[in-house]
Structure 1
Amino acid sequence: MLRTSICIRLFKSRIKYNTRTAQNQLHATHCIFSTENVKKHVVKIAESLTSELSYSNSIKRLKLKNQAAVLVPLCTVNGELCLLFTVRSNNLPTHKGQISFPGGGVKHGDTGAVDAALRETEEEIGFPRNKVDVWTTLPHISNHTRTAAVIPVVGYLGEVNIEDMVPDRNEVTEIFTVSLTNLVNNASYTRFRIKAKKRSEHDYVMPVYFTQYRIWGLTANIVDTVLSIL
């Protein structure tokens, strides 16, 4: 199970807030919403979460084949701030039918995580990479052996109409959006247990979002981090 200590600390802090508090905070976000205001805020918090030196070095130590990137696509639908998701095709060798953000492995020829996330987004959902306003990257999420990492890249797509997008059916079955209000209202947390040498690692809490699809795992980790930032 992919996870990161930074994300786990954020999960536990969010549990302390009740739904009403979260809704009030999100309402305040909508009241002051402008693309530029939210962008500045997200960039500032993301920078405070990430130690640039340790982040860069830990990624550089990984082989290219063990690096992946996903685009976290903030967008508006009828003026409401949303996140865009995909349903993975059953034709794929792994994680069939799961909910994810557009993304994939960093390949030779990519200039880095941002380039990989934009390339994969264009390939998977047909959204032109030059129309994505890239805001920042979030702390990478490592697997439990620290041999692979996924780098979330936050970008803004503007006002979108899902009907205008042309997904690659070999990779994506469906594209859908969920408003931030909907995500907050349908957030839950699940306790997981894994086999580990250290007793403190036996239990950990991870978020789950019960929207039109169940959003869990790595994707839910990233959603929780974005909501925490906002």
Structure 2
Amino acid sequence: MTRNEFLSQFHHLRQTYSEPDFPLRKTGRPAAVLIPLIDYGDSLQLLLTERAHHLRHHPGQVSFPGGAVDETDNSFFDAALREAQEEVGLPSNNVDVVGMLPKYRTISGYEIAPVVGFVNPDFTPIIDKNEVESAFEVPLSHVLDRKNHLVHTTHRDKKTFPIYFIPWKNRMIWGATAAMLRNLSHHIHP
């Protein structure tokens, strides 16, 4: 998939299906992630991170660059770009933001705004080892193909919730990251 092909599918007015998120009892803490699509001209790659192994929450889990919205952030877009700069050294001027997917609520109490942006391929990640173990690329076509998605259900408070998994080589993309990718897949391929 190229940038133009992606944009022709991304910018539409169709109502698309969104995966169920966690029904919070109160407003979630605002957070933003960047869905960074590296534009190689003839293909798009998704940049993901592996969270540092020493972290208290979700150590080693595959995720997007992102985190809580700070008081200094003017928007979800600013928060996503700031976090990408902090975690993987991605300069905001290397990102062309094209939009945002519906917010996704998590069991940990966050309401995450997934910001989508194209990244110039001249970028070389500079990892903040306090937050990130590694960064890697996955073909966008792989994560958008729902044939590569696995769904497991779990139960909490007498309700059933899906947990999504997307295997890639020796890694497993799962949880909120996989669910937001699944929402992107529904948006691009309704």
TM-score band (shorter)? 0.7 to 0.9
Taking the aligned partners of 1:39 and 1:188, their CA distance within structure 2 comes to 23
Counterpart contact for 1:209–1:220, Cα < 8 Å: yes
Write the mapping of 1:182-221 to structure 2, written as runs, cut at 5 A. Answer: 182-183=142-143, 184=145, 187-197=148-158, 201-202=159-160, 204-212=161-169, 213-221=171-179
Tell me how far 1:44 sits from its aligned partner.
Answer: 2.4
Q: How many residues align?
A: 178
Q: Calculate percent identity across the aligned residue pairs.
A: 31
Name the CA shift for 1:150/1:132 in 2 (closer, same or farther; >3 Å).
same
Q: Please state which structure has a larger fraction of its residues in helix.
A: 1
Tell me which amino acid in the other structure corresponds to 1:165: P
Taking the aligned partners of 1:85 and 1:216, their CA distance within structure 2 comes to 12
Which of 110, 131, 135 is the equivalent residue of 1:175?
135
Tell me which amino acid in the other structure corresponds to 1:137: M
Over the aligned positions, Cα root-mean-square deviation in angstroms equals: 2.6
Identify the residue that residue 6 of structure 2 maps to in structure 1. 38
Q: Rg bigger for which structure?
A: 1
Which of 68, 75, 85 is the equivalent residue of 1:105?
68
Taking the aligned partners of 2:36 and 2:131, their CA distance within structure 1 comes to 17
Residues 73-128 of structure 1 deviation map (CA, whole Å, 9 limit, x = unaligned): 11135732121100101232211110000000001110021100000001111110
Tell me which amino acid in the other structure corresponds to 1:107: D
The TM-score, its normalising length taken from structure 1, stands at: 0.68
Residues 30-64 of structure 1 deviation map (CA, whole Å, 9 limit, x = unaligned): 3xx3x34522531325x8459xxxxxxxxxx847x
Taking the aligned partners of 2:65 and 2:27, their CA distance within structure 1 comes to 22
Q: Secondary structure at the match of 1:156?
A: strand
Taking the aligned partners of 2:56 and 2:107, their CA distance within structure 1 comes to 21
The TM-score, its normalising length taken from structure 2, stands at: 0.81
Counterpart contact for 2:106–2:176, Cα < 8 Å: no
Counterpart contact for 1:189–1:205, Cα < 8 Å: no
Residues 168-204 of structure 1 deviation map (CA, whole Å, 9 limit, x = unaligned): 111111110100333338713222222225xxx32x4
Tell me how far 1:133 sits from its aligned partner.
Answer: 0.6
Q: Secondary structure at the match of 1:93?
A: coil
Residue 88 in 1 paired to residue 51 in 2?
yes
Taking the aligned partners of 2:117 and 2:183, their CA distance within structure 1 comes to 14
Structure 2, unaligned runs of 5 or more? 18-25
Q: Secondary structure at the match of 2:56?
A: coil
